[in-house]
Every structure is written in structure tokens, then in C-alpha cells.
């Protein structure tokens, strides 16, 4: 393989345009130290040359009979003879220095001119080859996708809030009917208690004194029998299962009827309230009981769980097969105390209804139907996340 750059690549295109920078020696001027050394050397040379010239001129004058010449005269002769040459040499050095400086300044100007002339072309080429455009397009696309996802999530959340509000209104109406019936039952119970207390007092008053003959108690066949309470029959298991499934939509008349019948039972009413709270909190985090994949455990496992068994021996009861959902609920339990309390409340209330189902003669059918409701699925999910079967 050849190591030469591809002419079509950025490296190949940039190579011909690159201009080598001017060497530092071409643009740099001599430093102060170099100038001082050159000046000292020049002074020494001038002194030696001037002394030699002065000594030679003095000897020539003595030979010509002009008399002896002292050291001062020799120095004056040397200075007079060497000064013109020194001036001319100094002028030549200055001119050379000026020429060198002008040459370097000219080189610097040429380099700057080349850079200025090449700068627009390089900027245009860099703009064309800049991958920032693709990055900007990708970021814009990701932002649009995130915005669309956020809008879809908001629309779904609004729909969930509407459905939750509708369910809460139905539960509130059913609870209101149950509470309206509760005072009547309480009043009837109090009346029965008062009647029983009055009968007891009357019986004490009518008791004969010790030793007295006991008279036969009068009978009144026409006496009315007071009821102990306004007892209502518990709803059947089909109604209970339909109520724990909650109405599917506003047109689910059978679901609302089952819900209204179930909330009159105190145990079922508490379970329905706990299930409603749990399902609402799960929906806020995108978890829906009807979307879970579950395996309903055999009746024997449900019976052992209702009897108090926990751990791996009844692990089939936690039949949710969605590890992501279980892990999400586990994080909620750890981080959200409100959800944790709501989930524990659901587990306690569901356990009471489960014991009632297991104790029924047809417990196997009831337990399976109970587990496959939205309430049952929420229970299995929460129990598995809490580690009940670990």
C-alpha cells in the first residue's frame, strides 16, 4: 500500500495549498549580545590597526629627518590615518545592516500577503469540509423526535388522568351509597341493643324473691322479633372478580354495577381503594396491569400462600414475567415512600380477600379468577418486587 495521501481526501487537497512558514533565521534580527560582541571586536581591530599605522608613520617621519615623535604623536598619527577608513567601514556595516533588515521586513510582508490571500480560500474549504453541518442536522432531528415523544407522553398522561378521574368518581359514588346505608345499619343495631338491655332489666325486676314460688313465664306469640342489624348478603364471586377488574370504559355498565355492589362490603371496599391507588401510581410511571405477562400459579400454591407460606416454595404465586416492570417497581419502592406504603396496604388487603376465596368450597376457581384481575396482577407485581418470594 502506498503512503501517499489520496488527492480526493482532505489531506490531499490541503497539501498543495499549505505554504511553509518562513524560517526563524530569515526573519529574526541579531540580538543585543551579538551586537555588543561585534562592537568590541571592531574596537580592538580599529585600535590595533590605528596603532600600527601611527607607529609606521612616526618611523617614516623620523627617517626623513623630522625628529623623534613621542607616544602622543604616534597615537594622533594613527587616529588620523585610521579614522577615515573606520568611518567608511562603519558606514558600510550600517548600510549592510539596513539592507538585511529591509530584506527581512520584505520577506515578512510577503509571508503575510500570502496568508491573507489564502485565508478566504482556506476558510471556504474548511466550511465545506466541516462535519458540523451533519452534526447540527442530527441534533435537530433528535430534538424533534424527543419533542414528538414528549407530546405523545403528555397526551397519554392526559388520557390516563381522565380515566383515573372517571374511576375515582365511580368509586366515590359507590362509597357514598355504602356510607348512606351504614347509618341505617348502625341505628338498627343500636335499637336492637337498647331493646335487649330493656328486656334484661325487665327480666331482673320480674325475678321472684329467694324462696318464692316461680310463676310460669307469660308468652306473647304476637311479640315482634327485632332484627339485630340490617345485614346484607355478601356479593358473589363473579361480582367480586368483576369489581376487582374495574370497569374497562364508560360503557362498561356491568363493571360499574359490580363495583357499586362490592364497595358495600367493608373488606372489599378497602381492597378496591388500595388497588385503585396502586394502579394509579403505576400508570403514572407507564406500568399497566393489563399489559403484564403472567402465569397463574396452581391453587395449592395460592392456598399455602394464604396460610402464611413465603419464600421460594410459593414463588409461582408471583407469576409476573416482566423483569423490567419488576425492577421498575423495586426502584419505586426504594425511592418513593408514598408508593411503598400504598403497595404494602394493597398486599395486606389482598391477603384478606385471598383467604376468603381459598376458604370457599370452590376456592380453586375463585383464586385463579382473582389472580387474573387488574388487582391480582398488581398484587403479584408488587409482591415480587418486594422480595416476598426470595
Tens digits of residue pLDDT in 335-383: 999 999 999 999 999 999 999 999 988 878 888 899 999 999 999 999 9
187: number of CA atoms within 13 Å, CB side? 6
Question: What's the pLDDT score for residue 261?
Answer: 92
Last residue of a domain, one of 101, 117, 133: 101
Cell of 251: 360503557
Cell of 337: 415512600
Do 59 and 183 fall into the same domain?
Answer: no
Helix axes 337-359, 323-335, angle to 10 degrees: 120
Backbone φ and ψ of 31, nearest 5°: -80, 175
Do 88 and 193 fall into the same domain?
Answer: no
Helix axes 132-206, 266-284, angle to 10 degrees: 170
What residues form DSSP beta bridges with 294? 320
Q: How many helices (H) does the chain have, and how many strands (E)? A: 13, 0
Q: Confidence band (pLDDT; 50, 70, 90) for 107? A: confident
Do 55 and 189 fall into the same domain?
Answer: no
DSSP 8-state assignment for residue 315: G
Question: What's the pLDDT score for residue 287?
Answer: 92
90: number of CA atoms within 13 Å, CB side? 12
Number of domains in the chain: 2
Do 85 and 165 fall into the same domain?
Answer: no
Do 287 and 365 fall into the same domain?
Answer: yes
Taking the C-alpha atoms of residue 170 and residue 260, their distance in angstroms, rounded to an integer, is 8
Last residue of a domain, one of 52, 76, 101: 101
Question: What's the pLDDT score for residue 379?
Answer: 95
In a domain, 165, yes or no: yes
Mean pLDDT of 306-323: 90
Question: What's the pLDDT score for residue 210?
Answer: 42
pLDDT exceeds cutoff 70 at 233:
no
In a domain, 153, yes or no: no
Specify the range with the lowest mean pLDDT, choosing from 58-67, 142-151, 190-199, 254-263. 190-199
pLDDT exceeds cutoff 70 at 179:
no
Question: What's the pLDDT score for residue 385?
Answer: 93
pTM over 0.75? The answer is no
Higher pLDDT residue, 126 or 211?
126
The CA distances from residue 207 to 49, 203, 215, 364, in Å, are: 165, 6, 9, 55
In a domain, 156, yes or no: no
pLDDT exceeds cutoff 50 at 314:
yes
Q: Are 130 and 122 in contact (CB under 8 A)?
A: no
Do 263 and 373 fall into the same domain?
Answer: yes
pLDDT exceeds cutoff 90 at 140:
no
Last residue of a domain, one of 101, 118, 133: 101
In a domain, 274, yes or no: yes
Question: What is the rounded average pLDDT for all residues in the chain?
Answer: 72
Question: What's the pLDDT score for residue 84?
Answer: 75
Taking the C-alpha atoms of residue 193 and residue 232, their distance in angstroms, rounded to an integer, is 19
Question: What's the pLDDT score for residue 2?
Answer: 47
Taking the C-alpha atoms of residue 278 and residue 333, their distance in angstroms, rounded to an integer, is 12
Mean pLDDT of 146-170: 62
Do 180 and 69 fall into the same domain?
Answer: no
In a domain, 299, yes or no: yes
Burial of 185 (0-12, 13-18, 19+ CB in 10 A): middle
pLDDT exceeds cutoff 90 at 390:
no
In a domain, 362, yes or no: yes
* Interval 15-60: pLDDT, tens: 444 444 444 444 455 556 666 777 777 777 767 777 777 777 777 7
Task: Give the percent of the chain with pLDDT over 90.
Answer: 29
In a domain, 126, yes or no: no
Q: Confidence band (pLDDT; 50, 70, 90) for 331? A: very high
pLDDT exceeds cutoff 70 at 67:
no
Q: Confidence band (pLDDT; 50, 70, 90) for 202? A: very low
319: number of CA atoms within 13 Å, CB side? 18
pLDDT exceeds cutoff 90 at 137:
no
Question: What's the pLDDT score for residue 215?
Answer: 43
In a domain, 366, yes or no: yes
Structural domain containing residue 185: 161-203+234-385
Q: Confidence band (pLDDT; 50, 70, 90) for 91? A: confident
Amino acid at each position: 500500500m502506498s503512503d501517499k495521501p489520496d488527492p480526493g481526501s482532505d489531506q490531499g487537497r490541503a497539501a498543495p495549498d499549505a505554504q511553509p512558514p518562513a524560517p526563524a533565521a530569515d526573519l529574526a534580527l541579531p540580538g543585543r549580545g551579538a551586537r555588543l560582541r561585534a562592537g568590541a571586536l571592531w574596537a580592538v581591530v580599529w585600535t590595533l590597526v590605528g596603532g600600527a599605522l601611527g607607529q609606521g608613520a612616526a618611523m617614516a617621519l623620523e627617517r626623513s629627518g623630522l625628529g623623534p615623535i613621542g607616544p602622543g604623536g604616534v597615537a594622533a598619527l594613527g587616529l588620523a590615518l585610521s579614522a577615515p577608513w573606520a568611518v567608511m567601514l562603519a558606514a558600510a556595516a550600517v548600510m549592510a545592516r539596513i539592507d538585511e533588515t529591509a530584506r527581512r521586513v520584505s520577506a515578512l510582508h510577503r509571508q503575510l500577503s500570502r496568508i491573507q490571500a489564502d485565508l478566504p480560500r482556506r476558510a471556504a474549504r474548511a466550511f465545506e469540509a466541516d462535519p458540523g453541518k451533519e452534526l447540527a442536522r442530527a441534533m435537530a432531528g433528535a430534538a424533534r423526535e424527543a419533542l414528538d415523544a414528549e407530546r405523545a407522553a403528555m397526551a397519554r398522561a392526559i388520557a390516563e388522568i381522565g380515566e383515573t378521574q372517571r374511576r375515582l368518581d365511580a368509586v366515590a359514588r359507590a362509597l357514598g351509597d355504602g356510607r348512606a346505608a351504614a347509618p341505617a345499619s348502625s341505628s338498627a343495631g343500636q335499637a336492637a341493643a337498647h331493646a335487649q338491655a330493656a328486656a334484661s332489666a325487665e327480666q331482673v325486676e320480674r325475678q321472684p324473691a329467694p324462696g318464692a314460688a316461680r310463676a310460669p313465664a307469660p308468652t306473647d306469640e304476637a311479640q315482634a322479633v327485632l332484627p339485630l342489624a340490617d345485614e346484607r348478603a355478601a356479593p358473589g364471586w363473579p361480582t367480586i372478580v368483576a369489581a376487582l377488574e374495574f370497569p374497562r370504559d364508560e360503557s362498561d355498565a356491568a363493571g360499574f354495577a359490580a363495583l357499586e355492589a362490592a364497595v358495600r362490603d367493608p373488606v372489599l371496599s378497602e381492597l378496591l381503594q388500595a388497588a385503585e391507588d396502586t394502579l394509579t401510581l403505576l400508570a403514572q410511571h407507564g406500568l399497566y396491569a393489563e399489559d403484564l405477562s403472567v402465569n397463574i400459579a396452581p391453587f395449592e400454591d395460592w392456598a399455602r400462600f394464604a396460610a402464611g407460606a413465603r419464600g421460594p416454595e410459593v414463588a409461582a404465586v408471583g407469576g409476573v414475567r416482566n423483569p423490567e416492570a419488576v425492577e421498575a417497581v423495586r426502584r419505586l419502592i426504594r425511592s418513593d415512600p408514598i408508593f411503598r406504603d400504598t403497595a404494602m396496604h394493597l398486599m395486606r388487603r389482598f391477603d384478606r380477600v385471598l383467604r376468603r376465596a381459598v376458604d370457599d368450597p370452590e376456592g380453586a376457581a375463585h383464586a385463579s379468577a382473582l389472580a387474573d384481575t387488574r388487582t391480582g396482577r398488581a398484587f403479584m407485581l408488587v409482591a415480587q418486587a418486594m422480595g416476598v418470594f426470595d
